[in-house]
Each structure stands twice: as structure tokens, then as C-alpha cells.
Amino acid sequence: MKLKRVFCLGIFLILLGGESVLGASFSYFDINHSIYESGNDVFRISFAIRNDNGSMIYQDVVKNIELIYDPSNSRIRYNTDNVVCETGQRFSGQYDSTKEEFVYFPETFIEYYGPVGSSLPSGEYLLRALVDIPPSGEQYIEIARQWDYFPVVLPVITYNSFDISNDGSGNFLLKWDAPEGLNDTTHSRICIKAYDQKRFVGDVFVRGVPTDLGRLFLPADIVQQVVQWGGDSYGIELNVRTNDSRERTYSKTKVITSLKGNIVGDVNNDGKIGLEEAINALQVLSSKE
């Protein structure tokens, strides 16, 4: 998808509460400031689109897009060429602080996101897109939102601190060096993206992780289902964000080729010690007699 600037010429849009009600509409529009371990410091936008019935559209329907600052006056347009669409299978996760455990559920997701510049002053922003949704065809949609920027300094967690392992039951374990004293104002999110020959196929996206927890538990049954997506590599990324998600820091992405790890004695590489491993151990022992 190549997103370019577009100009709405002679298009009449009916607006209600900042959203167009002509056919499709934006389901949300967010702005955030993101600092990366790699050194990038950018402002990003994210959004998704729904159809006439209010259902999410799980395919890329955007032909062009533009972001306009202070649309009633200066009308400064920002570069949106690097905004991309990502859609696929997902296991959404959440940390249950009461039970002190992670819970997961499957879903299909889509998100458009990307950087729009190194400076985004406070003010009103208008997001306008040209979309093509059968059978309605092409149409313009708009949404406006107020962006009030108050910088907050957050720690950047390095991917060098990631400690990845599997236990004997095939569960995936991730630990990292977590900062302390930030739980009241921030939380962490972890994303594990699956790729097949560099093509995105799905992810595990875990929200609401206490910033000082420093660990992730992915049960073996979820690991097995993610592996069945057919990915040949997995990118692990962690971010710390304020509770309103406006200020964020991102680790570099740690790339691994398997979620099953290297368990000693796991001869069939299924992430478990089972019957085949027991038979192999007996064979090894008998060959030494």
C-alpha cells in the first residue's frame, strides 16, 4: 500500500461528531509520541476503518490519506507516506493482576499506523482518507481530534536484556530488565510478530502488563497455534507507555526462528519432553551397554 497526499476537490461530506457518516467511517484515530531504542524519535498516527454496518474492515481499503494540522487556519499537511496497513491473526493477551496470570483470546485484527514527522504541536488535526469499499466504491472519510502534547520521560528497555526460554511443558517464557516505581502512571505491552518469508502473518499482543513485572508467560497451547500460522521467524518487541498511550518508548526487535526454544533432550523439536524423547534416551542408554 502506497499512501500519498490527496486533496478533496468538490467532495461534500456530512460530518457528525468529527466522523463522516457517508458509508464507511474511522473506528478510531490516535496520535502518539514514540522514542525507539534505535534512536528514532517520531510522532505516529494509528487508525482503523469500519463499514456501513459498523463492522471492522479486515483488508486494506485505503488508497490515499492526508493528515492536516489546524484545518480551519494554517492547514499544514504532514507526510503520511510511511503509514502502513497490518492485518492478520492475533492472540490478544492481558495480565490479570488479581490472579497474577496472563489470559489470551484469539481474534482477527487490522491497524493502519506509522510515523508522520519529528514534530507535532498541540492543536486540532484532521485525518482524511480516500477508501474503496465494494459495493459502495470510492469515498472520502474524515475524522478530527485534538492533540495536546505534554512530554513525559520514560525509560527505554533494551532488547539485550531479553531472556527467552521454554520449560519442559512447552510454555514460552520471556524475561527482561524492568524499571521500578512506574506502575501508577505507566504500563508495558509486548508484541510477538510472526513472519513467513518476511510477510506478516499474525501476532501475540499483550496489554496491561505492570511496568515492573519483567516477565511474560505464553502457554504451550497458544505457542502451538501460533506455530501453525506457518511463520519462519518471530520478532519480539516491548514498549513502555503512559496510561493514556500518548507517550511511548520501544525496544529494538529481537528476532528468533522458533518459539519452542532449545530444551535439552527435545529430539523432535516440539518444545516438550515426551514419549519420543523417552524412547531416544533408552536407545542411547542401551547403545552404551
Encode pLDDT of 61-120 as tens digits: 999 999 999 888 888 999 999 999 999 999 999 999 999 999 999 999 999 999 999 999
Q: How high is the pLDDT of residue 81?
A: 95
Compute the C-alpha angle 103/245/142, nearest 5°.
110
Residues 115 and 59 in one domain: yes
Residues 114 and 216 in one domain: no
Residues 114 and 180 in one domain: no
Asked whether residue 262 is domain-assigned, the answer is yes
Considering the chain, what percentage of its residues have pLDDT values greater than 70? 83
Query: For residue 187, what pLDDT band results from cuts at 50, 70 and 90?
Result: very high
CB distance 116 to 43 below 8 Å: yes
Domain count, the chain: 2
Residues 119 and 208 in one domain: no
Residues 143 and 168 in one domain: no
Asked whether residue 285 is domain-assigned, the answer is no
Encode pLDDT of 211-248 as tens digits: 999 999 999 999 999 999 999 999 999 999 999 999 99
Q: What is the CATH number of the domain that holds 252?
A: 2.60.40.10
Final residue of a structural domain among 96, 122, 147: 147
Asked whether residue 8 is domain-assigned, the answer is no
Residues 32 and 139 in one domain: yes
Encode pLDDT of 260-283 as tens digits: 865 445 444 444 456 665 676 666
Residues of the domain holding 119: 15-86+110-147
Residues 181 and 123 in one domain: no
Asked whether residue 124 is domain-assigned, the answer is yes
Asked whether residue 44 is domain-assigned, the answer is yes
Residues 165 and 203 in one domain: yes
Cα distances from 207 to residues 27, 110, 125, 167, 210, in angstroms, run 20, 16, 27, 23, 9
Residues 117 and 229 in one domain: no
Residues 190 and 227 in one domain: yes
Q: Is 22 exposed, middle or buried (0-12, 13-18, 19+ CB in 10 A)?
A: middle
Cell 504500563: give the residue: 187
Asked whether residue 153 is domain-assigned, the answer is no
Q: What is the CATH number of the domain that holds 114?
A: 2.60.40
Query: For residue 189, what pLDDT band results from cuts at 50, 70 and 90?
Result: very high
Q: Is 268 exposed, middle or buried (0-12, 13-18, 19+ CB in 10 A)?
A: exposed
Residues 33 and 77 in one domain: yes
pTM of the model: 0.81
Asked whether the predicted pLDDT for residue 286 surpasses 80, the reply is no
ω into residue 210 within 30 of 0, thus cis? no
Query: For residue 285, what pLDDT band results from cuts at 50, 70 and 90?
Result: low
Average pLDDT for residues 12-18, to the nearest whole number? 37
Asked whether residue 141 is domain-assigned, the answer is yes
Asked whether residue 49 is domain-assigned, the answer is yes
Residues 216 and 122 in one domain: no
In DSSP terms, 45 is beta-bridged to 31, 114
